[in-house]
Structure 1
């Protein structure tokens, strides 16, 4: 199952530096000829919201920053932070409130599979150097991390998510990060080595083989119900099957963004026939059946398991 489209990466780790802190000699000094500021890149790489330090790192001079503000190419959000006219409004709001975007809000911008239930609000955190934070902020275990960009990096965001969102959603996001190779299980274990027991137990339940959040949700719920579940099982003539309960019950789970349209419809039905020909019992679940209608979905799965259809009685 394809992952969500990658939207924004924020990878700078430089400290914030305000133009107000630049010396008069720096501002007034003549600079060599440089290329005009690339505003499209600022939008692409930073969501259109950047610190003075990031602008300087991209090659802009203090004079160019001042001119960009004067001509309307940049807007000063607060001391040391600027936005392009097309900047992401949610990121702008985080900075104007005195913080940065983090947790589920930043993780979805990194292309990870983030449950929709965690996105009903914006997730912000306070800049350590900005006391007058006006928003509803996320907490994290341990000491706060210094703000170095308008959008937190993946690992920092996960550390806030572990404290802020429910355990299942946290595991869903960690699985996505592992599957995409954004983090390794060793890095997760190291980052959360001193976290509370419930978070460390959640890390132990992560599995990067899951290809979508709906797959992770179903896996966690079925295992919690005491079912024997195998994931991403290779079956000759079919390929990899998302989940197999017991010996025979093959669960295929669609994600919201995929398996639509005539081509996908035909492909899925052919795959179901191949699953049957392989001696398994196919059961296809939609995004809505996992996310919004799980009690009924689980009831149906339970009925099949109670009848023993998941067992290979020929053994």
Structure 2
């Protein structure tokens, strides 16, 4: 006979009493399961196999669902921080009888948002709309958008712009800064930093005559690749061959490790600038950003970043600068 715990586990770790009754559970079965600690009730009517400290359990216990960064973290969102983000719980404007918990933030969302998502989290698209405007920095916001594109949470530019503008209109401008194609947090962060420095970045460019793809091409000159340690050690020879292929088609290959992107970006960027100038490209001009990209503004209120309202453009311009 299937146990209460097995039914709850098979449903993902959370099930309502009415669903258990539909499977044949009686009040006696439910009482025994709770007393034996095979399941726990985070809230009246709900039964779970999650530990009480699980963010999903906490959200249900409060009376809502996970949202923002805390919801995306459980889906594998890219982040520089190894720490779990603080729990943010979404409740509808009509919610009542909430059970507040220390360290847990409760936000009030429109009732129609309750129609989307799961029993323990809002729809990932709604979570993304909140997470980007609450991101600790502009770079972190772009990283979330790049991850959402890679994970298939948003599709084309129009779809991404609609989702990102749900909390704040200016957040739609992240679409221009993201453009898709980043396959890791290293690619995402490096691309954003180069664009903010006025460089033109295009992702996922084929190497002529091969089946290889360059992570990104900078100013049409640098074939820029980012590698984690495990990738580097496993594909050392293949990567050297790829560098040669990049050079043969007239680009300068440049490869950066995770440490070079995360902890030594200044020297990494200086090396890229030097290679571009040596190859005949423009010198980087301080405080000049591609004019097709929405301008990054300073913090205001609870937000650590803002964008000027985006304007339509055919694409990213090359930087203006002397040689």
Quote how far apart the aligned CAs of 1:158 are.
0.6
Quote how far apart the aligned CAs of 1:252 are.
0.2
Structure 2 partner of 1:24:
none
Structure with the larger RCO, 1 or 2 (CA within 8 Å, 6+ apart): 1
Structure 2 partner of 1:121:
85
Aligned pair count reads 271
Of 78, 81, 98, the match for 2:43: 78
Structure 2 partner of 1:305:
276
Q: Distance in 2 between matches of 1:138 and 1:202?
A: 26
Q: Does 1:162 align with 2:132?
A: yes
Q: CA contact under 8 A between 2:145 and 2:178: conserved in structure 1? A: yes
Q: Does 1:105 align with 2:70?
A: yes
Q: 1:122 to 1:278 in 2, by over 3 A?
A: same
TM-score by length of 1: 0.71
Q: CA contact under 8 A between 2:17 and 2:47: conserved in structure 1? A: no
Secondary structure of 1:259's counterpart equals helix
TM-score by length of 2: 0.70
Q: Distance in 2 between matches of 1:127 and 1:136?
A: 12
- Unpaired runs of at least 5, structure 1: 1-33
Q: CA contact under 8 A between 2:204 and 2:213: conserved in structure 1? A: yes
Structure 1 partner of 2:265:
294
Q: Distance in 1 between matches of 2:248 and 2:276?
A: 21
Q: CA contact under 8 A between 1:139 and 1:164: conserved in structure 2? A: no
Q: Which stretch of structure 1 is more off in the superposition, 73-82 or 118-127?
A: 118-127
- Unpaired runs of at least 5, structure 2: 283-323
Q: Distance in 1 between matches of 2:261 and 2:217?
A: 16
Q: Distance in 1 between matches of 2:18 and 2:262?
A: 39
Structure 2 partner of 1:179:
150
What are the residue-to-residue correspondences of 1:150-299 with 2, within 5 Å? 150-165=120-135, 166-185=137-156, 186-193=158-165, 195-236=167-208, 237=210, 239-255=212-228, 258-261=230-233, 263-299=234-270
**Cα deviation code 1:54-113 (max 9, x no counterpart):** 85498464544444223321011232333216687333334445543332232232244x
Structure 1 partner of 2:318:
none
User: CA RMSD of the aligned region, Å?
Assistant: 3.3
Q: Distance in 1 between matches of 2:122 and 2:26?
A: 25
